[in-house]
Amino acid sequence: MAQIERNFAWPDTIKNYFIGSVLSEGGSAPAPQAPAKTWVDMVNEIQKAALSSRLGIPMIYGIDAVHGHNTVYNATIFPHNIGLGATRDPALVKKIGAATALEVRATGIPYTFAPCIAVCRDPRWGRCYESYSEDPKLVEQMTEIIPGLQGSIPPNSLKGVPFVAGKKKVAACAKHYVGDGGTVLGINENNTITNFHGLLSIHMPPYYDAIIKGVSTVMVSYSSWNGEKMHANHYLLTDFLKNKLHFRGFIISDYEGVDRITTPPGVNYTYSLQTGILAGIDMIMIPYDYPRYFASFTELVNKKVIPISRIDDAVRRILRVKFTMGLFENPYGDYSMANEIGKQEHRELAREAVRKSLVLLKNGKTPVEPLLPLPKKAKKILVAGTHAHNLGYQCGGWTIQWQGLSGNNLTIGTTLLDAVRATVHPSTEIVYSENPDEHFIRNNQFSYAIVAVGEHNYAETVGDSLNLTIPEPGPSTIRRVCRHVKCAVVLISGRPVVIEPYVEHIDALVAAWLPGTEGRGMADVLFGDYGFTGKLPRTWFRTVDQLPMNVGDAHYDPLYPFGFGLTTKPVKTTQ
C-alpha cells in the first residue's frame, strides 16, 4: 500500500518494507538526458528487489506522462490537454494515448498518472492547461485517451474492472477525484463549494466514462468539497466511487496528500493516515518519509483502529491491477522498445495534434481582408516575440522538469522559428528578433510579421494567477510590431489570458495553447498547407473581473465564446 520516490527505492528498502509501488516525482530521472536503457536498468533493479522479497510480488512503477512521456529526453511532447480539447477529436486523443503508452513502456515503466479529467471552471487555476475543457461533455469525450493508454476493454466485460491489454500498454489514472477544477478563485488545492447536484453534473461525469472504460486507478484530489478534504471523504471515496460506481481498481493518494489532511501538513501524521485509509485510499504516495508511515500504520493496526478488512480491500485492489496488467508474467522492462521514444510516427501524430488544436480568433482587420494563410514567398518577413524560438515555453510545465524549463536545450523539438524557416520559399528573407525596437521595425521593409508571445512556464500552485496577464515584453512587442507591420500574433499559453487591449492592433490572432515539441504543426496552418479547424475548449473572458464565467451561465459576455474558432481553407496552389 506504500508508494515511495525512486531516490529512496534502495533494494533493502523495497525488500524489507514490501514496498508496493515506486514513482518518479515531477522531473525525477535516473540521470540528465538518460536514454531508455538507463531507465529500464533502474526500473528492473528495483523490480528485482521486489521479487526477492518473501512474497515475491512485483512492484508497480508510476510516472506523470501527462502530455507524452514528458520527463524523458527526446520523448514526443504532445500539446497539453487544453489544446487537445480544442481539437474536438477523441479518436486523435486515443492515438496519442497509444503512442504515449509505447514511449512510457520503452523506459520500462508500466503506469502513468494520467489523464487529468478535471473540469476547469476558472482559468486562474494553475492546472487549467491539464484540463481538456470547462464543459464536462467535452472532457467526457476526451476520456478516449484511456483506451489509448490501456487498450480497449473486451466486449461484454464487467464495467468498472481495471484492464490493461498487455506489455505495450500502461495502467492509467483518472485524476484528481473530484472537483479539483472548481475551487474558489481557481486557487490550487482549495475548496470547491457546490451542492451534490453541482458536483454530479459538472465534475463527476468524466469519472463515469473513465470507470466504464476500465481505468486502473483513480487519484484523490488535494482539494476539499464544501470544507471537507477529499483525502478524508469516506462518502465520495468508498460509498460513491467504490460501492455505487463499482470501481474495482485502486484509489491512490496524491503526492503527500494524506499529510495535507491537516493544516499545517503532517502536524498529526497518525491521525491523517488513519483518516485517509479509513476514507478508502488504497495506496499512499508517501513519497519520502516511509519509516514514519510504517510506524504509524503498524500502531493503528495493532490498536485495531484500522481493521484488517480495510487492508484486505486495498491489497485485493492493488493485486487486481497488478494481475490484469500482466506484471506477474512480465515484471521487467523491455530493452527492445527503446526506438519508440520520439519516433517519427509519434512526432507526426503530435504535429497533427498541434494543427488541429490551434484556434483562429481573428483573421484580418476586416472580414474581406484576411491575413491568413500567409504567403510562403515574400521579400522579407519578421519573426519576433519571447516565444518564437523557445522550445521550453512552447512545451510548458511538466516538461523534463516539474515546472518546465525555458530555452532550447531541454529536449529535442522544433520551435516556431525553426518551423517557419523550414516552410517558407528559399527566396524569402527571415529576420528574427526577440524584441525589436521601433527604429529597427521602421527601417526594414517587412512584408508581414509573426509575433509569438505568451505565458512563462508553470505547474500547479506556481501557475495560480489572479490577473492572467501576459508578461512583458509580450504586450510591448505586439504594440510595436503591429503598429508598423501586418502581423499574425501566436499566443502560447496554458489558458485564455488578457488580450482584449491588444486585439485592435492585431491583424490575425491565433491561440496556440502549449503545443509541445512539434512546432511544424503551427507553420502547417499559418502558411495554409492545412486549414484552421480548432474550437475554443474554454470561454475567453474580456477581463478577469468576469471570472468565473463558463458556457451556460446566465451572465455570459465573453470576448470569444466557448466553441468559437474561425476556419480557413488549405491553399492548394504552389506559392
Write out 99-163 in H/E/C secondary structure. Answer: HHHHHHHCCCCCEECCCECCECCCCCCCCHHHCCECCHHHHHHHCCHHHHHHCCCCCCCCCCCCC
Going by their DSSP bridges, the two strands 508-511 and 487-492 should be labelled as: parallel
SS3 (DSSP) at 565? coil
pLDDT at residue 572, rounded to an integer: 81
pLDDT at residue 573, rounded to an integer: 60
CB 501 within 8 A of CB 542: no
N-to-C CA span, the chain:
61
Averaged over 151-179, what is the pLDDT?
Answer: 96
CB 192 within 8 A of CB 227: no
Prior bond to 473 cis, omega within 30? yes
Give pTM, 2 decimals.
0.98
Catalytic residues: 254, 460
Q: What CA–CA distances, in Å, run from 374 to 362, 438, 451, 491, 526?
A: 14, 23, 13, 17, 6
Neighbouring C-beta atoms of residue 4, cutoff 10 Å:
26
Averaged over 513-538, what is the pLDDT?
Answer: 98
What is residue 455's DSSP assignment? P
Q: What CA–CA distances, in Å, run from 532 to 104, 362, 514?
A: 31, 11, 17
Q: Predicted confidence band at 163 (pLDDT cuts at 50, 70, 90)? A: very high
Q: Note the pLDDT tens digit of each residue in 193-249.
A: 999 999 999 999 999 999 999 999 999 999 999 999 999 999 999 999 999 999 999
Cβ-proximal residues to 50 (8 Å cutoff; 6+ apart), any chain: 14, 15, 19, 56, 57, 58, 59, 331
CB 51 within 8 A of CB 11: no
Q: Looking at the predicted structure, is the pLDDT value of residue 575 above 60?
A: no
Q: Looking at the predicted structure, is the pLDDT value of residue 444 above 60?
A: yes
The superfamily CATH assigns to domain 2-63+109-331 is Glycoside hydrolase, family 3, N-terminal domain (3.20.20.300)
Q: Predicted confidence band at 542 (pLDDT cuts at 50, 70, 90)? A: very high
Q: Predicted confidence band at 574 (pLDDT cuts at 50, 70, 90)? A: low
Averaged over 99-109, what is the pLDDT?
Answer: 99
Q: What CA–CA distances, in Å, run from 19 to 71, 173, 214, 317?
A: 23, 19, 25, 15
Q: Average pLDDT, whole number, for the chain? A: 97
Helices (H), 358-412: 391-395
**What is the residue extent of each domain of the chain?**
2-63+109-331, 346-560
The superfamily CATH assigns to domain 346-560 is Glycoside hydrolase family 3 C-terminal domain (3.40.50.1700)
Q: Note the pLDDT tens digit of each residue in 272-288.
A: 999 999 999 999 999 99
